[in-house]
A and B are shown apart, each in its own frame.
Chain A
Amino acid sequence: EVQLLESGGGLVQPGGSLRLSCAASGFTLGSYWMHWVRQAPGKGLEWVANINQDGSQKYFLDSVKGRFTISRDNAKNSVYLQMNSLTAEDTAVYYCGRAVGGAESYWGQGTLVTVSS
């Protein structure tokens, strides 16, 4: 069974950092592009970043460029999102997604990040 389990969310002060993790199981992580997508409270979906199968290609939402980095460790079946210089506008549920733009799209249940003093 395919599973994606996000962790690492929580309450952080403005300007702080968090590292989100996504643990994958039930499929070969190294065969897929992986994505992070977020949803602010009461708002729509917003794509944040993605990374290709071997980590050599990465793309980011303009508003997080220079603050967020995405990485993966296929041997550990994990994908990561390092978030720095967080602001209130980054408050959202963050979803890890497999092949979001394709036929084998699959999403985790999300982890909540709250940026507040």
Chain B
Amino acid sequence: QSVLTQPPSASGTPGQRVTISCSGSNSNIGSNPVNWFQQLPGTAPKLLIYNYNQRPSGVPDRFSGSKSGTSASLAISGLRSEDEAGYYCAAWDDSLNAYVFGTGTEVTVL
């Protein structure tokens, strides 16, 4: 059972903004950096955001991350069809001594 909770699904039309939440606790999001991963159908996960709001080179600035207390969020602006994928938050948990992933959110472009 994951300790990071995400909504199971999110959707929007092309060009819209979609936001995905990730709820955790003081032992994970509250005290450690959060990464976000994108998993396109049938492929390996890919780093999208690291350290709450940093983008690796090559990731469009349509993707942005933020954190407030023990929650984090991923925003996708200017939604595109190629953004249809699974999105996972993740962070180290100091109480579990384990890296924990969120439950995952499937984004659909209508």
Contacts and interface: CB of A to CB of B under 8 A. Distances in A.
Interface of A: 35, 37, 44-47, 50, 59-62, 95, 100-103, 105-110
Contacts, number: 64
A67 to B, nearest CB: 15
B66 interface: no
B contact face: mostly helix, strand, loop, or mixed: strand
Q: How large is the interface on B (under 10, 10 to 19, 20 to 34, 35 or more residues)?
A: 20 to 34
Interface string B12-30: 0000000000000000000
Interface in B91-106: 91-92, 96-104
Contacts of A46: 101
A105 B101 contact: no
A102 B98 CA distance: 15
Contact of B47 (A37, A59, A62, A105): A105
* Of listed B2, B45, B51, B90, residue having the most chain A CB within 10 A: B45
Contacts of B64: none
Contact of A103 (B2, B51, B97, B102): B51
A107 B44 contact: yes
Interface of B: 2, 32-33, 35, 37, 39, 43-47, 50-51, 54, 56, 86, 88, 90-92, 96-104
A46 B37 CA distance: 13
B99 A103 contact: no
Contact of B99 (A95, A101, A107, A108): A101
A108 B43 CA distance: 10
Q: Which 10 A-B pairs have the closest CB atoms?
A: A44-B104, A105-B47, A47-B99, A45-B101, A107-B44, A103-B50, A109-B44, A59-B97, A45-B88, A107-B45
